[in-house]
Structure 1
């Protein structure tokens, strides 16, 4: 599942954490749960790049933590949606990082990851409906009535809200990663 970067070098140079204000460390990194490496985990290039805009980066950190770590969706459903967004947006960085999260923290198999890449079929499985909703949101910025009805059979209202915001967040992140030329760390290639 090779997905080449669109840009071979960063358009915005990443800043090393030693160059960050202490408050930014807490805002971007301090709220990660222990199972995701906590604040002591490696500092990824996305954060190093966003550190060029401290005010935005701090708000992004809070919002991103809400979407990724406090979603009412199951970890598997959240990661299936995020992976689909990453694939559709051709966001190499997003795809590879979330493949690792899917395997290590959401219990997803290689078949699950391949499902995210391939996308929905004509089947009516729960995964197919979820993937169809992601495709509709990315392609049309709207969930059709038929797909919404099927989602509503499976998800509570708060989960439906979280699904739309997860997709929207990761479309935005994918646009930023692709446009800024955020490079994938060697261990994720």
Structure 2
């Protein structure tokens, strides 16, 4: 690990505030937050700015949970992100995906045509930093403008998180899942 989770004795009100929109009070500690969030809070201002965006993508997106998780799993595979692969495997299952569907999504394959278009779009965003015209036209037959925007921002945000987690050396937390304080 290049950056380790912030030691417990350094957790203060700024750290707590940075995590308040994502985690309930009982999880705002080095063990409850998990490796990723406990590392991100080394920079509380950045974490506090990023968390509302991430909360939107995870809990308020116009994409279905399944579509979101398929896209994130593909991003994680393309980014070679062990943390995101492990974390979103569990979230994919919670969204109703089978283990086989999760592995297929990682590889860019889906049986359902719209989900396949989403995975194709992820690949195009990775390669070209844009969804190509044909894929865009096909997707907009099924998705609203807001869903299209949520898709692009989900892919971008999780590519960024994968890049950060890979660079920092953040190890997967097998037992933790996001838990938004509602």
| Class of the TM-score when normalised by the shorter of the 2 chains | 0.7 to 0.9
Q: Which is further off, 15-24 or 128-137?
A: 15-24
Q: 1:26 — aligned with what?
A: 17
Correspondences of 1:33-182 after superposition (within 5 Å)? 38-41=24-27, 42-104=32-94, 106-120=95-109, 125-182=113-170
Q: For the structure 1 residues 153 and 88, does the alpha-carbon distance in structure 2 shift closer, same or farther, using more than 3 Å as the test?
A: same
Deviation at 1:20, TM superposition (A): 2.0
How many residue pairs get matched?
Answer: 172
Q: For the structure 1 residues 177 and 68, does the alpha-carbon distance in structure 2 shift closer, same or farther, using more than 3 Å as the test?
A: same
CA contact (8 A) 1:31 1:39 kept: no
Q: 2:179 — aligned with what?
A: none
Across the aligned residues of Structure 1 and Structure 2, the Cα RMSD in angstroms comes to 2.0
> Where does the alignment leave 5 or more consecutive residues of structure 2 unmatched?
177-182
Deviation at 1:68, TM superposition (A): 1.3
Q: So what's the TM-score if we normalise by structure 2?
A: 0.86
Deviation at 1:118, TM superposition (A): 1.7
In 2, distance between residues paired with 1:85 and 1:168? 9
Q: For the structure 1 residues 57 and 88, does the alpha-carbon distance in structure 2 shift closer, same or farther, using more than 3 Å as the test?
A: same
Deviation at 1:150, TM superposition (A): 0.8
Q: Which is further off, 172-181 or 38-47?
A: 38-47
1:12 equivalent to 2:3? Answer yes
In 2, distance between residues paired with 1:109 and 1:27? 34
Q: 1:5 — aligned with what?
A: none
CA contact (8 A) 1:79 1:102 kept: yes
Q: So what's the TM-score if we normalise by structure 1?
A: 0.83
Deviation at 1:84, TM superposition (A): 0.5
Q: For the structure 1 residues 40 and 103, does the alpha-carbon distance in structure 2 shift closer, same or farther, using more than 3 Å as the test?
A: farther
CA contact (8 A) 1:116 1:131 kept: yes
Q: 2:180 — aligned with what?
A: none
